């Protein structure tokens, strides 16, 4: 793993938000002023294909990147804010209904976040 890859992985893993390429770039730049956006882009894509980070594609939003720790997402229908949520694991329930082994699932719950409810 290259120096940049390791730093980017660390940024994504420690971030509480779901960062866009620009946000990752701006964070890394504080540490590595010479880094260019294309390098960040290439390294992030490499991390995605190595399954070390997850690309979150949500309709109507630009791609965001997330840690691989199993968790689910709540997405606000009004402001688009994405929050992590840890539901109990549904793998065995889904496998039972499907009658076969699954690789995983991606749960996205749409709701109105507390800020938008006000
Ligand atoms: Zn909201
Ligand atoms: Zn997440």
CA of 64, nearest ligand number: 2
The range of the structural domain enclosing residue 92 comes to: 72-117
Considering the domain architecture, whether residues 57 and 7 belong to the same structural domain is answered as: yes
Give pLDDT, residue 70: 87
**Residue 56 pLDDT > 90, yes or no?**
yes
Give pLDDT, residue 41: 97
Residue whose pair of structure tokens reads 């009658």 in the numeric block: 99
Residue 101: band (very low, low, confident or very high) from pLDDT cuts 50, 70, 90 = very high
Helices (H) and strands (E) in the chain, counts: 5, 5
Give pLDDT, residue 42: 97
Report the percentage of the chain scoring pLDDT > 90.
Answer: 87
The token pair at 37 is 């956006």
The token pair at 54 is 């997850």
Q: What is the 31 CA–ligand 2 centroid distance (Å)? A: 24
Q: What is the 46 CA–ligand 2 centroid distance (Å)? A: 19
Give pLDDT, residue 29: 97
CATH number for the domain spanning 97: value is 3.30.1490.190
Q: What is the 20 CA–ligand 1 centroid distance (Å)? A: 18
Q: What is the 111 CA–ligand 2 centroid distance (Å)? A: 15
Give pLDDT, residue 17: 87
How many domains in the chain?
A: 2
Residue 45: band (very low, low, confident or very high) from pLDDT cuts 50, 70, 90 = very high
Q: What is the 95 CA–ligand 2 centroid distance (Å)? A: 23
35-44 pLDDT, tens digit each? 999 999 999 9
59-91 pLDDT, tens digit each? 889 999 999 988 999 999 999 999 999 989 999
Considering the domain architecture, whether residues 54 and 88 belong to the same structural domain is answered as: no
Residues near ligand 2 ion, CB 5 Å cutoff:
66, 84
Q: What is the 62 CA–ligand 2 centroid distance (Å)? A: 15
Considering the domain architecture, whether residues 58 and 16 belong to the same structural domain is answered as: yes
> Angle between the 3-14 and 37-49 helix axes, to the nearest 10 degrees?
80
Structural contact between residues 24 and 12, judged by C-beta atoms closer than 8 angstroms: yes
Give pLDDT, residue 84: 93
Q: Could you give the CA distance from residue 63 to residue 53 in angstroms, rounded to a whole number?
A: 13
Residue whose pair of structure tokens reads 């804010």 in the numeric block: 81
């Amino acid at each position: 793993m290259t120096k940049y890859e390791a730093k980017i992985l660390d940024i994504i893993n420690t971030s509480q938000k779901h960062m866009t390429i620009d946000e990752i770039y701006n964070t890394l730049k504080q540490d590595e002023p010479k880094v260019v956006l294309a390098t960040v882009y290439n390294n992030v894509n490499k991390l995605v294909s190595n399954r070390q980070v997850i690309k979150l594609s949500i309709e109507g939003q630009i791609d965001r990147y997330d840690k691989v720790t199993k968790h689910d997402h709540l997405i606000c229908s009004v402001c688009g804010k994405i929050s992590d949520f840890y539901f109990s694991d549904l793998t065995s329930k889904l496998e039972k209904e499907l009658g076969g082994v699954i690789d995983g699932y991606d749960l996205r719950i749409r709701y109105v976040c507390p800020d938008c409810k006000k």
